[in-house]
Chain A
Amino acid sequence: MAGLRVLVGVKRVIDYAVKTQGVKHSLNPFCEIALEEGVRLRERGAAAEVVAVSVGTRVCQETLRTALALGADRGVLVEVGEGAAVGPREAAAALAGLAGRLRPHLVLLGKQAIDDDCNQTGQLLAAMLDWPQGTFASRVEPEGEWVRVQREVDGGLETLRLRLPAVLTADLRLNEPRYATLPNIMKAKKKPLEVVAASEFLGGGSPPAPPRLRVLKLEEPPPRGGGQRVDDVPALLERLRASGCI
């Protein structure tokens, strides 16, 4: 089936190189890989349209503009209120609602976001839509009404054949994303970017359900204590016994 419509989720995260006081945000690297795959599918003729979606506050429009510069045809922002928590469940619910409206054949997501490392949105989304899922994809090949997915699993590589529509999540080795070059950034300004209120998908008008996740504490790992040298193995064993390790 040529002419697939591909929905790609993109998340705005704190840049991976920044240590503290992160103000520099960028497109989640795994989402970039998913987007690159979508764009390559379109360039190969397998897909007809790539729609980039982000769920977040208004500032996520920047991220969508970057996605447009990287090759998406149009962007949709599912806008939440300032301060609203968007965890995997909320993101999946929003994407599910949007999928109901846009009717994509394939949803491509990054396997996880580098800020929370949840690795849940793709799986939750597939469950909500009752679609097959191919997570940790390292190769994607559409075959008519099916898609062949090679997955990176603990034991090696697993190949699945899923009936479309399906949800796939991208792993690192799926592809190497292209650069967002300046001519493309300029072209991206003319591509359509739609803003949709999240309330349409997350609890229709009434205040959305309270977040299921609550951050109790966030702290830096304790500073590394000094190590101690021991002279020989018996001394080591004694130390280990004394500290209760053995």
Chain B
Amino acid sequence: MGRGGTGALPPAADCAGAAGPRAGGRAPRGSWAAAMLLSRCPSSSRARQCFHALKLIKRECLPSLHIARCVSTASVPRITTHYTIHPRDKDKRWEGVNMERFAEEADVVIVGAGPAGLSAAIRLKQLAAEHSKEIRVCLVEKASQIGAHTLSGACLEPRSLQELFPDWKERGAPLNTPVTEDKFGILTKKYRIPVPILPGLPMVNHGNYIVRLGHFVSWLGEQAEALGVEVYPGYAAAEVLFHEDGSVKGIATNDVGIQKDGAPKATFERGLELHAKVTVFAEGCHGHLAKQLYKKYNLREKCQPQSYGIGLKELWTIDEKKWKPGRVEHTVGWPLDRHTYGGSFLYHLNEGEPLVALGFVVGLDYQNPYLNPFREFQRWKHHPSVQPTLEGGTRIAYGARALNEGGFQSIPKLTFPGGLLIGCSPGLMNVPKIKGTHTAMKSGMLASEAIFSQLINENLQSKTIGLDVQEYEENLKKSWVWKELYAVRNIRPSCHSILGVYGGMIYTGIFYWILRGMEPWTLKHPGPDFAQLKPAKDCTPIEYPKPDGKISFDLLSSVALSGTNHEHDQPAHLTLKDDSIPVNRNLAVFDGPEQRFCPAGVYEYIPLETGEGSRLQINAQNCVHCKTCDIKDPSQNINWVVPEGGGGPAYNGM
């Protein structure tokens, strides 16, 4: 063993030495541990550990040696120019530029005009009217129009809408398609195995409506404006402001007029500060400000890491003969293997013309870096049970968005001094039901009720300048939202066993259908999504079929249909903490998974003009604000920040 050990020592020493200083101290931890283990393992009883350590070195150290050699002297072209990475106070080009901001005072500021944010705004104004009080509610939204960044299946459970507006029908809420049929199937390459949906299972849709959520959100926006909410679409909340005591003071909207290289333009103007007694963060799944708040207030201390999926969606007008308004279809199985969570949806809308909303979700805890969610979606459409519906039809829209799959276990602390989190931002989606809108709306309403009672309480003694509305979290925990999420908490994690998704289905059948979530245990998630990716050399590339241009399509024409656009002369909002990591780690170890998981073709590894090697090109203009890259980057190097307001997709009723 000693000989084996000595034999192995030179590489270890080399590795530890070389990887250390040359690669700038970025040696993988495994190699250090392995080297330590080897130097201390004289007896044969530790033989297995040593061999294992050897394997570790081989796997982790050699690639980095290679990198050390290739990259040590080569300079990395600057990719990121955003001021969140390169602060302006140290930048000569910003000397003398007036950085003052105007400020406006409101009672409540809400970030994000989705179902949660709008429900919160509406509820506040309803309460104000009931109590004859005046409160100023400002809502900022990065989309140029309310609903333009909204994307969802969607099957709406009208429970929360009924509470918010009992007269929603008279008010013209666009719930035009009651669900008439619910179908579920398991797909194999050629066949579809129907699965009966027994009453009591979470995916029963009786009483629900198929909606175009973007239109529903637009309608909510109109109701909000009618009630006096100040709605500001086209303005993104870019920064959280804090009081001296650490509580949230409000937000500042994005600056405008910065060039692509980070220098100020002649039209440069600072954003506006909106100060509030309470700031409600309703940014949706994986919000960028929420990310900062988790860190600052340690909100994720006691919960599991959030787990996500990416949802891709298209709208098609189809042949009338194939149109079955009110039909809801879900599948699992092909083209994903049982270890990759995901499945499809296909909903037949009933709004006059034969329109279907269809899409595919892939759990972002997938392990194979060669997996391409967009192409899985495109090839699913060719399945013999799906293709006939689409034949003769026309695709009219495309989009994508990340969604939460962590469920109950991943809900963080929801309140902090001066602010709180509602909706998909903390993650209240009922994963097996695939519904989050009703819980998002309810959380917004509960938040407003708690905020309002503090606002009108004249004897309120707040410890901090920004109000800490803890009653919101307490009330949410007492509400039906909590019970519902608790009951289904184990279904998604039950898919992590060897049986994969089928294990999950069996678990649902046994434990949920019979026990309704009353089992005394709570299963865990295996860890954050980005850490599940295996190195490329351990995985097999997937052969995807070429798009045929009739049923399946290429990425760029799809991105064009999303209507996405950004002012091109601005710093890329997909910022990298370290510009060298994409090529050095993501490409070297994982073969650049961002080229595959981005549903908009933002990330491309282009061969260098000088011959060897590649560089990362970020096509920020294509971004559809799905947040998948921020979630799945195995190096967690990508930090999505908000671009100039108004940019992004132009979804119409998605």
B144's contact among A16, A24, A179, A185, by CB below 8 Å, is which? A24
Chain A: CB-nearest residue to B567: A179
B-side contacts of A19, CB under 8 Å: 560-561, 563
A15 at the interface (CB under 8 A from B): yes
- Inter-subunit contact B256/A183 (CB<8 Å): no
Question: For A21, A177, A179, which residue has the most chain B Cβ atoms within 10 angstroms?
Answer: A179
As a 0/1 sequence over residues 222 to 247 of chain B, the CB contacts with chain A under 8 angstroms (1 = contact) are: 00000000001011000000000000
| CB neighbors of B among A162-217 (8 A) | 176-183, 185-186
A17 proximity list for chain B (CB < 8 A): 563-565, 650
Nearest A residue (CB) for B565: A17
Write the residues of chain A forming the contact surface with B, with a CB cutoff of 8 angstroms: 15-24, 26, 176-183, 185-186
B272 near A: Cβ within 8 Å? yes
Interchain CA distance A185-B267 in the complex, whole Å: 16
Contacts of B396 in A (CB 8 A): 20-21
B619-654 residues with Cβ-Cβ distance < 8 A to A are 644, 650, 652-653
Bound-complex Cα distance A181 to B650 (A): 20
- Contacting residue for A21 out of B256, B267, B397, B560, CB 8 A: B397
Known: A17-B650, A176-B267. A183 touches B272 (CB 8 A): yes
Evaluate whether A179 and B257 lie within 8 angstroms (CB atoms) in the complex, with A18-B650, A20-B561 already known: yes
Which residues of the partner chain B approach A23 to less than 8 Å between Cβ atoms? 145, 650, 652-653
> Within the assembled complex, what's the spacing in Å between the Cα atoms of A63 and B235?
16
Is B267 touching A15 in the complex (CB atoms < 8 A)?
A: no
- Contacts A18-B650, A21-B396; A182 near B232 (Cβ below 8 A): yes
Contact residues in B for A18 (Cβ distance below 8 Å): 563, 650
What is the chain B residue whose CB lies nearest that of A185?
B232
Contacts of B232 in A (CB 8 A): 182, 185
Interface string of B244-262 (1 = CB under 8 A from A): 0000000001001100000
Interface residues of B in 140-166 (CB under 8 A from A): 140, 144-145, 148
Q: How far is the CA of A181 from the CA of B234 in the complex (A)?
A: 9
The number of chain B residues touching the other chain, given as a range, is 20 to 34
Tell me the minimal C-beta distance from B520 to chain A in angstroms: 50
Further pairs besides A23-B652, A177-B267, A178-B269: 9, Cβ < 8 Å: A16-B565, A21-B396, A21-B397, A24-B148, A176-B267, A179-B257, A182-B235, A185-B235, A186-B272
Smallest CB separation, A186 vs chain B (Å): 7
Closest A residue to B645 by beta carbon equals A182
Chain A contacts of B521 at CB under 8 A?
Answer: none
Q: Say whether B593 faces chain A, with CB atoms less than 8 Å apart.
A: no
Residue of A nearest to B274 (CB): A182
Tell me if A24 and B269 are in contact (CB < 8 A): no
Task: Write the nearest CB–CB distance from A172 to chain B, whole angstroms.
Answer: 15
Whether the pair A181, B560 counts as a contact (CB closer than 8 A) is no
Determine the chain B residues whose CB is within 8 A of the CB of A179 once the complex forms.
256-257, 267, 269, 644
Q: Are A176 and B266 in contact (CB under 8 A)?
A: yes
A15 touches B650 (CB 8 A): yes
Q: How far is the CB of B563 from chain A (nearest CB, A)?
A: 4
Measured between C-beta atoms, what is the minimum distance from A160 to chain B in Å?
A: 27
User: A176 contacts which chain B residues (CB < 8 A)?
Assistant: 265-267
A24 lies within 8 A of B267 (CB): no
Cβ contact within 8 Å between A181 and B272:
yes
Which residues of chain B (246-295) have a CB below 8 Å from chain A?
253, 256-257, 265-267, 269, 271-272
Distance A185 CA – B271 CA, assembled complex (angstroms): 12
Tell me, rounded to whole Å, the shortest Cβ–Cβ distance linking A147 to chain B: 24
Q: Report B-chain residues with C-beta under 8 Å of the C-beta of A185.
A: 232, 235
Please state if A182 and B271 are interface contacts (CB–CB under 8 Å).
yes
| A16 to B104 alpha-carbon distance, docked (Å) | 32
CB-CB nearest in chain B for A177: B267
Which 10 residue pairs of A and B lie closest in terms of their CB atoms, listed nearest first? Answer: A17-B565, A182-B272, A179-B256, A24-B650, A18-B563, A23-B652, A183-B102, A21-B652, A18-B650, A178-B267
For the complex formed, measure the closest distance between the CB of A32 and the CB atoms of chain B, giving whole angstroms.
12
Q: Which residues of A contact B256 (CB under 8 A)?
A: 179, 181
- Nearest chain A CB to B557 CB, angstrom units: 10
With a CB–CB cut-off of 8 A, which chain A residues contact B272?
A: 181-183, 186
Which residues of the other chain, A, contact B265 by a CB distance below 8 angstroms?
A: 176
Q: How far is the CB of B220 from chain A (nearest CB, A)?
A: 16
Complexed CA–CA distance, A179 and B145 (Å):
16
Q: Which of B190-228 contact A (CB under 8 A)?
A: none
Distance from A33 Cβ to chain B, minimum over Cβ atoms (Å): 13
| B397 to chain A: closest residue by CB | A21
A24 contacts across to B, CB distance below 8 A: 144-145, 148, 563, 650, 652
26 pairs of residues in contact across A and B, judged by CB atoms under 8 Å: A15-B144, A15-B563, A16-B565, A17-B563, A17-B565, A17-B650, A18-B563, A18-B650, A19-B561, A19-B563, A20-B397, A21-B397, A23-B145, A23-B652, A23-B653, A24-B563, A26-B144, A176-B266, A179-B256, A180-B234, A181-B269, A182-B232, A182-B235, A183-B272, A185-B232, A186-B104
Residue on A nearest B269 in the bound complex, by CB: A181
Chain A residues positioned under 8 Å from B235 (CB to CB): 182, 185
